[in-house]
Amino acid sequence: MIKKLCTFIFMAILASPVIGNDMSPLSVVNKRMDSYNKHDLESIMSTYSDEVEIYTYPSKLLTQGKNDLESIFKFLFKGKVVHVTVHHQITKDSYVINHETVKYSDRTIDYVSVYKVVNGLIEEVRFVRD
């Protein structure tokens, strides 16, 4: 009887559709950071929702949609000279707040970045910078 029940439960799990993503917001953002430093376009794009919105804090829209964002990363990764360092991270529910330094070939910029992660994908980013 127990063997049949275990078999039934196992089969039900296999037949169940996968819904959502079990990655925590922090895991998603850290995957994004790792992908950025590896210049891995496919991996970084897998962390964003199709409707992602990127802002300069508080509300200046920089780009919207995964396709536009992909073109930006293609350009940045072309020379393989960008690198991000995360100094501090704070998490609260769906949000991850990073203090980051991004090094480009000709400059270094400090950011506070606020990532909103829903269902395992980054839906919104707000960059606080001078």
Find out whether 115 and 44 touch, Cβ atoms under 8 Å: no
The topology (CATH level 3) of 21-128 is Nuclear Transport Factor 2; Chain: A, (3.10.450)
pLDDT, one tens digit per residue, over 37-71 is 999 999 999 999 999 999 999 999 999 999 999 99
Q: How far apart are CA 101 and CA 108, in angstroms?
A: 7
Q: Model confidence over 69-111: pLDDT tens digits?
A: 999 999 999 988 899 999 999 999 999 999 999 999 889 999 9
Q: How many CB atoms lie within 10 A of CB 90?
A: 12
pTM over 0.85: no
